[in-house]
Chains A and B, each alone.
Chain A
Amino acid sequence: QVQLQESGPGLVKPSETLSLTCAVSGYSISSGYYWGWIRLAPGKGLEWIGSLYRSGTTYYNPSLKSRVTISVDTSKNQFSLKLTSVTAADTAVYYCARVTCSSGSCYSEHWGQGTLVTVSS
């Protein structure tokens, strides 16, 4: 059974970089699937941040693309999110997920428990 676990600082100062890691167990990232980050800000709906394929190909939400980098470390079976120049609007629960894509249709079948990141000085 695949499991995902987010980790990283719970508090980030404005203008700094948010860095999170998602450790995957029960499945090898290099074997397939897409791997993504999604967030849920207070009082708002879910927002797709970006996704990565095992080859390293990445897809980012255009609204965040200039600030986002998603990378993979297959040796540690984990992938990471970096979001630069954060503001209070980036305060959210961040989830990592395994994404199934078939015929252009993608959905997240396995999710991490989520980690709250607060942007504040």
Chain B
Amino acid sequence: QSVLTQPPSVSGAPGQRVTISCTGSSSNIGAGYDVHWYQQLPGTAPKLLIYVNSNRPSGVPDRFSGSKSGTSASLAITGLQAEDEADYYCQSYDSSLSAWVFGGGTKLTVL
């Protein structure tokens, strides 16, 4: 059971918009700790997608956006493309555990 809760799977048709939620608690996201997002394509290492809640590293398309509110964060992907099919993970810090923590991951399927 991960400290940060993500839906196991989401899906959408090409061109559509999907969101992936990351729900935490008062000891992590709700305490003000930043959220970061990673994309893991099949057979590859995770890739930083969003850092510090809503910032995109160079080279990440602006179709990807992040937001944070209260004890949750969200990753939104617009104009869904086949190459977006991957696993997505959120990450934050938990003060009760004194550890950096990840969500359980969400598998995005492009229909």
Asked if A and B are interacting partners, one says yes
Interface residues of A (CB under 8 A from B): 38, 44-48, 51, 61-63, 95, 100, 102, 104-109, 111-114
Q: How far, in angstroms, from A118 to B33 measured CA to CA in the complex? A: 34
Given A44-B104, A45-B102, answer yes or no on A111-B47 (Cβ-Cβ < 8 Å).
yes
B46 near A46 with CB under 8 A, answer yes
A46 near B89 with CB under 8 A, answer yes
Residue-wise interface mask of B (78-111) relative to A, using a CB-CB cutoff of 8 A (1 in contact, 0 not): 0000000000010101000111111111000000
A46 near B102 with CB under 8 A, answer yes
Tell me the chain B residues, 24-59 only, with Cβ under 8 Å from chain A: 33-34, 36, 38, 44-48, 51-52, 57
Sorting the interface of chain B by its residue count into under 10, 10 to 19, 20 to 34 or 35 or more gives 20 to 34
Residues of A within 8 A of B102 (CB): 45-48
B45 near A45 with CB under 8 A, answer no
A111 near B2 with CB under 8 A, answer no
